[in-house]
Structure 1
Amino acid sequence: MATHPAPKAIDALINQALAIEDEQAQEAGALGFMARAMVQATLPHRAVDGTYFERKNGAFTLSLLASPKIGLPYGSVPRLLLAWVTTEAVKTKSRELELGDSMSAFMAELGLKPTGGANGSITRLKNQTRRLFSATVAASYEDGEQIADMGYRLADKSVLWWHSKDPEQAGLWKSTVTLSEHFFNEVIDRPVPIDMRAIKALKQSPMALDIYTWLTYRASYLKRPTVIPWASLALQFGSDYTRLRDFKQAFLAELKKVTLVYGQVQVEATELGLMVKPSLTHISKREAP
């Protein structure tokens, strides 16, 4: 059953939305980016049995393959990591990225607070960072007339000198990730502009993060109202739901959170699917590169 945001959570989202409207993302130092492939199809929302996962968006299919010893990335943390590495790659034009002087400093960049324990944010970050950067991605496009396939690792190398018991402590060496050449080129080739304040506001929900990045991407090129069928949205955002009505209920609950933060977007739930209308992007044209 879908959950609804608690009153305090709604108040927080509204306050964050007002702050976003008051100041442009670039002026606030919050202009970020996301790789298009990761917007068109998304990562798992929750833990997946096995080492293979795929999502579809029309003729586009994104699949992930993981080492059995490490597992597939899932949840909000890999999405926060992807937004951060994409933004840093666009800004620095470098494949090798430094992840901060300490684990605590890097977590602050992602909008996370260090908490210990088996289920704490420190454990989740270390676990999901390894899962994400060791995963192999395959993307394919097939429309009946043409077929295109490509595959790549997200990172050639990741070295994490983080102190789990003392996240404030700086390591003797820098923690770094070196993006694979293919993923780096994908990242810097027309990335999707996003507002990092919105990403941090929605960080508790992987589906809300996916809906936000997808809607601001669609708004950048949509020319007329378009209805996306619920079945198509389920393949793109929630292939782990067995019943379509359960997916629809969950999607609409998360959509409410997104529209609180992204007030300019114009959407309407219909019996057939979600109608997306031409809207202002969350990043103005003058801010986008």
Structure 2
Amino acid sequence: MICVMAGTPGRDLRLLRAAAELWDQDDQEIGFLARLFTQTSLPYRDPGDKPRWERRNGDLTLSVRPGSTGYPYGAMPRLLLNWLSTEALRTKSRDLILGRNLSDFMRQLGLTPTGGKNGTITRLMKQSDRLFQASLAVRWEGENRVAGGQMNVASEYNLWSRPSDDPDANSLFPSVVRLSGDFFDEVRNHPVPIDIGALRALRGSALRLDIYCWLTYRMSYLRRPSTVSWETLRAQFGSELADTKQGRGQFRRDFAKHLREVLLVYREANVETTEAGVHLAPSRTHVPLKGLRDLGRVPSELPSPVGQALAQ
């Protein structure tokens, strides 16, 4: 049962059609995301000239420092992180090839190649470069100790330098990424199964993607009802709005709207928005546990310093 304060939104016909297709499918296309990115998130909009950007989820804090090209933000880096995590587990390798050509890679992300200054090709190339240039810092603060570490998504990368006149043409030199050891270890030791079809349906909003991944992860281990306060959600998901009564109220309305859209896709989630926050009740996970079993291995390595911080 799904319980929300308002009715199902009817304005986004594309989302409704995509959700209906997911309801009718027999088999899920299962992907993975490193657990860190189900607990915290990247920016939704460009933070600009700030030297550091951070989000907090309880005792866990993620800090992002941009490279020379700026901050990664929006839906593109989130879709990239899902693809990288999934491919790393599928191939069991840090070295990943980004499709036969640009169009092939974009189709894997659920994107339609479009040209121009604001087209999907240009945005993907810019956000890929920004994501691989950014530095991430993870910090966990408990009652008796503090843990943390530094992490980059990639240690090396070689991407398309500019949009091709024919994005379907095979490149003489394919785009490749070598994941950093810490990111690779985090993915291997803490993979969260997610529905790739759900991500494609929700890709029009970075906040929707974050809510879906967070909700999928929370429901995978939730055993008793729990209410996440609006204050906690605002710290975790962030807001450009002022920390005033009006700003906090608008955040609640925005979050509730995007949550309703996520619940079109994740219908099994027992969720209710209240004055206190978002009330979660134990629900069927959106991805069967066989998603993890299908990996064919249980990580035996000790986690990296970042992984140790996240394991607290």
After TM superposition, is the score higher than 0.5? Answer: yes
2:257 corresponds, among 232, 253, 257, to 253
Shift of 1:45: 0.5
Identity of matched residues, %:
43
200-209 or 165-174, larger mean C-alpha shift = 165-174
Q: Is the 8 A contact 1:31 1:195 kept in 2?
A: yes
Please tell me the residue identity of whatever aligns with 1:45: Y
Does 1:42 find its partner at 2:41? yes
- Give the Cα–Cα distance (whole angstroms) in 2 for the partners of residues 259 and 6 of structure 1: 11
Q: How is 1:1-289 mapped onto 2 (pairs within 5 angstroms)?
A: 7=10, 9=12, 11-24=13-26, 27-28=27-28, 30-49=29-48, 50-67=50-67, 69-161=68-160, 163-166=162-165, 167-242=167-242, 243-289=247-293
The answer for unaligned runs of 5 or more in structure 2 is 1-6, 294-312
**Superimposed CA distance per residue, residues 193-235 of structure 1 (whole angstroms, 9 cap, x where no aligned partner):** 0000000000010000000000010000001111111011001
Q: Is the 8 A contact 2:115 2:121 kept in 1?
A: yes
Structure 1 stretches of 4+ moved >6 Å: none
TM-score normalised per structure 1: 0.93
Judged with a 3 Å threshold, the aligned counterparts in structure 2 of structure 1 residues 172 and 46 are, in CA distance, closer, same or farther, namely same
Q: Is the 8 A contact 1:56 1:236 kept in 2?
A: yes
CA RMSD of aligned residues (A): 1.7
Shift of 1:162: 5.5
- SS of 2:227's equivalent in the other structure is strand
- Give the Cα–Cα distance (whole angstroms) in 2 for the partners of residues 190 and 22 of structure 1: 30
**Superimposed CA distance per residue, residues 132-189 of structure 1 (whole angstroms, 9 cap, x where no aligned partner):** 0111111010023121011111100110136503212211111111100010000111
- Give the Cα–Cα distance (whole angstroms) in 1 for the partners of residues 241 and 25 of structure 2: 38
- Give the Cα–Cα distance (whole angstroms) in 1 for the partners of residues 70 and 51 of structure 2: 6
- SS of 2:187's equivalent in the other structure is helix
- SS of 1:149's equivalent in the other structure is strand
- Give the Cα–Cα distance (whole angstroms) in 2 for the partners of residues 161 and 128 of structure 1: 12
The answer for unaligned runs of 5 or more in structure 1 is none
- SS of 1:220's equivalent in the other structure is helix
Shift of 1:16: 2.7
- Give the Cα–Cα distance (whole angstroms) in 2 for the partners of residues 5 and 282 of structure 1: 19
Give the total of aligned pairs.
281
- SS of 2:279's equivalent in the other structure is strand
